């Protein structure tokens, strides 16, 4: 999984396919982070501690209630996708 900075947007790729696009870095990173939950991917070893830190403090996801958090993360991801889909200029 990786993000590419195109001329006018950021594109998130999973297995070589574009799965999301965003107009700004914050939205691109949120989509990147949500993709771990949506696609049930493990954090990469090289970024594990950083992503766990962000999971806990930036996204308020606590491992103790992971099921609830997965549902909340999926809802947030769906809301982000719906927002981006409703505003084509954001992509």
Q: What DSSP letter does each residue of 12-23 carry, written as one string?
A: EEETTEEEEEES
Q: Model confidence at 49, in pLDDT bands (50, 70, 90)?
A: very high
Q: Which residue has the higher pLDDT, 63 or 37?
A: 37
| C-beta atoms surrounding 2 within 10 Å | 9
Q: What is the largest CA-CA distance in the chain?
A: 41
- Minimum mean pLDDT range among 1-5, 14-18, 37-41, 57-61: 1-5
Residue with tokens 């771990």: 36
| pTM of this structure | 0.62
Q: Calculate mean pLDDT across residues 6-13.
A: 84
How big is the chain by its Cα radius of gyration, in Å?
A: 13
Work out the mean pLDDT of the chain and round it to a whole number: 82
Q: State pLDDT tens for residues 26-35.
A: 888 888 888 8
């Amino acid at each position: 999984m990786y993000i590419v900075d195109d001329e006018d947007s950021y594109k998130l790729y999973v297995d070589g396919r574009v799965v999301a696009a965003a107009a700004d870095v914050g939205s691109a990173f949120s989509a990147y982070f949500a993709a771990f939950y949506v696609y049930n991917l493990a954090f990469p070893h090289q970024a594990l501690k950083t992503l766990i830190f962000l999971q806990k403090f930036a996204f308020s996801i606590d491992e103790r209630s992971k099921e609830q958090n997965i549902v909340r993360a999926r809802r947030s991801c769906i809301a982000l996708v719906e927002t981006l889909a409703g505003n084509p200029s954001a992509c």
